[in-house]
Structures are given as C-alpha cells and as structure tokens.
Amino acid sequence: MREYLKFYIGGQWTDPAELRTLDVVNPATEEVCGRVAAGSAADVDRAVTAARKAFAGWAATSREDRIKVLQNILEEYQRRSGDLAAALTEEMGAPAGLAGGFQVGLGAGHLTRAIEVLESFVFEEQRGATLVVKEPIGVCGLITPWNWPMNQIAVKVFPALATGCTMVLKPSEKSPFTGQIMAEILDAAGVPAGVFNLVQGDGAGVGVPLSSHPEVDMVSFTGSTRAGVEVAKNAAPGVKRVTQELGGKGPNIILDDDAFAANVRAGVVDMMNNSGQSCSAPSRMLVPAARMEEAIGVAREAAEQTTVGDPTSDVAMGPVASAAQFEKVQGLIQKGIDEGATLVTGGTGRPDGLAKGFYVKPTVFANVTNDMTIAREEIFGPVATILGYEDLDHAVEIANDTEYGLAGYVAGTDLEQARAVARRIRSGWVVVNGGFDFDCPFGGYKKSGNGREWGEFGFHDYLETKGILGYAPDAAS
C-alpha cells in the first residue's frame, strides 16, 4: 500500500503542520490502496511563502535556463513513465493500455510542446516608441482533477515553469499518486527550491486556502462547474486572475452521408474512452431523424463490443473513479429511463460478471430530446445519448442549446460542409473528423470556463502584459 505523508515545499519533503490522512480507494477493487497526508491552511501558507520567496530568482532566469530545466524534466518523466502508468491504473482505474499510452503520453506531449514554444516565444515586442513586455504573473495556485491527472498537471505546471512563474499544486485527493510522482520527477530534474511546491488534500482543507491566499497571483482550476464557481468566489477579494476549465456536454453532429455508420460507431467508441470521464466527451450524438433506427443498431453493436473489466488486463474500459461517481452515473441512467428515452443497451447496475468495483455498463440512449436531464447534465460516465435533427440548422440549434461550451464534434465526408457546421458551434474546441493537435487552444465558452490551455495559448494566462511608453523615443520620431 502506498503512503505519501509528506509535502514537497521549498525543495524539501516536509511533514504537514498536523498529520491527518485521506484514504485512496482503488476503484477496481473498492479497497484502500494508499494514504496521503491531508493539508491545511498552514501547509498552504508555507508552500505559498516558499513560492513567493523563489519567484524573483526564477522569473529572472533566461529562456535557455528554463529550457534546460524542462529538458531535464522530460528525461525524468520518460524514465518514470512506467511508475506513472501504474499509479494511474491504481488510483483512478484507467486500463493499462490507456494509462501507459494516451494518459502518460499526453503529459510527455505537452511537455515537449512547451519546450518547443519556449524556444521562440516572443516575450518582448517593440511597437514604435513603446516596448510591450510579457512578464510572469507570479505565484500560481494549480488545482487539478482526477479524470486525466497527467494531462491536467502538464497543461498547468509546464507553461507556468516555462513563463517564469512559481507555483503550488493541489492534485485531486481521489488521484493523488501521480501528483506525488510528478513532484519526485521535478525534484530529480533540478527544479530550484520553491519554484514548484506540492500540497495534497481536499478542496476544503487545501483548495479554499490556496484560491483565497493573498500571496497567490493566479489560480488555474480544472473540475466541475459547481466547484469552479466556488474557486472564483474565493479568489475574488484578492482580484487575482482565475482561469477555469469546467464541465461540458459536447455535441457530436453526424452528417448524412455514406460514412454515417462508421461515424456513429466511432462516436460511441470515443464516448466510452476513459469510462466516459472526460469533460470534452462527445456525449450528445446528433443524427438525422430519418436515420435514427440505423444509428440505434450501429450504436448498440459498438457499445456491446466494448470490453469492461480489470484495468490491469487488456480491456477497453475500467471502472469509474469512485463510489460517488458510480452512484451519480447510476442515478442519471435511471433518470433517462424514467424520462422516457429509449434504452438501447446497458442500463443500471454492474456489467455481468463484475460483482465488485465501480464498473458501469456501456450505455446508449436513443430518441433523446434536448430537454431531458441526460441531455442537459454532464453525466461523466460511459453513457451516450442520441438525438435526432431535421436539418443542419436544427442540428446546430440543438448543439448550442446548452449552458456548456467546451467541446463539439462534426463528422462527415463533405469537408466544406463539416467546416461550415464547425464554425457555428459555440464551443472553445471543435473537432472535425477526429483531428488532434497539441498546439490547439483548449478551453470553454459559457459555463465551461475561461482561459485557454495547450501549446502557445497555454502560456498567455501565466503572463502579465506591460507597456513601457517612451522606451525608444528615436523610433517615435
């Protein structure tokens, strides 16, 4: 059993102000697999103080110095990739293939891209007599979720380091192992003392004092919209910058063409990835109403071919991450049945043969209307909903009829038509026929948040813009 009972503060592994612990439950076995120390306001204050002390020195480092540190981190990250993958499977149930593949690979990809961006990023620009300077914002509070731990740590920590900021990281208490290993990686890579700090704990004990701390200049939060609102409220008295990547209810518009069946199948497979625990999941599939029955047949087959089971084995889907998540998903599946959606496959309860573990049946609903709860609320589980549309105007209307705006999808062989539809979707991230790009800005409209992460766009939220007037009076004349 893992025990992580120290925090990483000021370049040292230190005891908490008062030792309290949180159990970590393996969602595949429902058994406690580890304990972590639960931080308090006193621990947060020590970490923020260390970050503030280190800020001036780290902010003054050269581009070349920061690139070298990031390259050292990449070497250590690659060396520890197996440890990270094992931790992901244990703490949040990611199947081994997903954990060691895309989950860990996302962290490496974002780190590599941060190095590339830093090599040519424009921190100073002369505009006539004015010099425009991009400077690190200061001490950053980074709060990350349990569903894609390495991705969300990577898109916060690496841009913050690259731009010259110092930071305090609070990983989710449901998936804390990867955050602990990340601290070990940064320590081994030679990140200067105080630049990166780690305090484990829950939202009340660590998240609140971190987001409200007067010496924190910026908070970057990923999680639920409900929690994001509370983070913003906590941060407001300090007038600190707050960036948020929150919930989603992504529309997936399937165009009426010869690739229809293949695109329906792909949409269901994508929905089941990571047990449906993705804020960017294509959870509302929109199909031509006249082809609903065809969509039902294809979706049923795709869902029923999804293998579910022990995440240490060769399966497509493991459990959802916790008992609370399991109960939430079960309740929303029942809500879909109660409100009259057609249950195509799946439903409540565990899959056959799985009596223990937080396993959910791959579930598909059809004939869903956009006023149903399962079309409005983020389920965060392996549940696909299929809605019918009359024409593309109607499809776009349904797609945008949501309080969320994180991700959208369009699939079809007519690329010009798909592009035109994509432009009309009110989301920060729209995928046409399965594209992927580490430099694509990722973030939300509406209640899906603000700010952007990934690639060059991920640097901007960690920078202040200074204009120095009269810097070059000769240029003005």
Q: What is the mean pLDDT of residues 190-212?
A: 98
476 has pLDDT over 80:
no
Average pLDDT over residues 273-296: 98
Where in the chain are all domains bearing CATH 3.40.605.10? Answer: 2-246+446-468
Give catalytic status of residue 165 as yes or no: no
Name the residue with tokens 């509302």: 284
The CA-based angle 146-147-150, given to 5 degrees, is 80
pLDDT tens, position by position, 34-49: 999 999 999 999 999 9
Mean pLDDT taken over the chain: 97
Q: Looking at 279, 378, 453, 456, which residue is catalytic?
A: 279
Q: Which of 161, 146, 159, 131 is nearest to 69 (CA)?
A: 161
* 3-state secondary structure (DSSP) of residue 448: helix
- pLDDT of 258 > 70? The answer is yes
Percentage of the chain beyond pLDDT 90 is 99
String of b and e for 218-228 (b: at least 16 CB within 10 Å)?
bbbbbbebebb
The whole-angstrom separation of Cα 301 and Cα 265 is: 8
pLDDT digits (tens, 9 = 90+) for 151-165: 999 999 999 999 999
CATH 3.40.309.10 domain span(s) along the chain: 251-432
Say how far apart CA 236 and CA 250 lie, in whole Å.
29
Does the pLDDT at position 475 exceed 60? no
d(CA 401, CA 260): 23
Residue 177 has pLDDT above 50, yes or no: yes
List, for residues 306-341, the tens digit of each pLDDT value. 999 999 999 999 999 999 999 999 999 999 999 999
Looking at residues 440-453, what average pLDDT do you find? 97
Looking up tokens 């299929």, which residue turns up?
A: 386
The pLDDT, as a whole number, for residue 472 is 80
Is the distance from CB of 149 to CB of 175 less than 8 angstroms?
A: yes
Verify whether residue 124 is a known catalytic residue.
no
Cα separation of 238 and 216, whole Å?
9
CA dihedral 26, 27, 30, 34 (to 10 degrees): 20
Q: Does the structure show a pLDDT above 80 at 381?
A: yes
Selecting from 3.40.50.1970, 3.40.309.10, 3.40.50.11750, 3.40.50.10330, what CATH number does the domain 251-432 have?
3.40.309.10
pTM (2 d.p.): 0.96
* DSSP states of 383-427: EEEEEEESSHHHHHHHHH-SS--SEEEEE-S-HHHHHHHHHHS--
Centre a 10 Å sphere on the Cβ of residue 75 and count the other Cβ atoms it contains: 12
Residue 416 neighbours by CB distance under 10 Å? 8
Rounded distance between C-alpha atoms, residue 333 and residue 350, angstroms? 12
Q: Flag whether pLDDT at 427 surpasses 90.
A: yes
pLDDT at residue number 64: 98
The listed CATH number (3.90.550.10, 3.30.300.30, 3.40.50.10860, 3.40.605.10) that belongs to domain 2-246+446-468 = 3.40.605.10
Inter-residue contact 452 to 435 (CB < 8 Å): no
What is the predicted pLDDT for the residue at 435?
Answer: 87
Q: Which of 90, 91, 245, 378 is catalytic?
A: 245
Residue 474: the pLDDT is: 63
pLDDT per residue as tens digits for the range 83-96: 999 999 999 999 99
For the segment 346-372, the average pLDDT, to the nearest whole number, is: 98
- Residue 477 is predicted with a pLDDT of 43
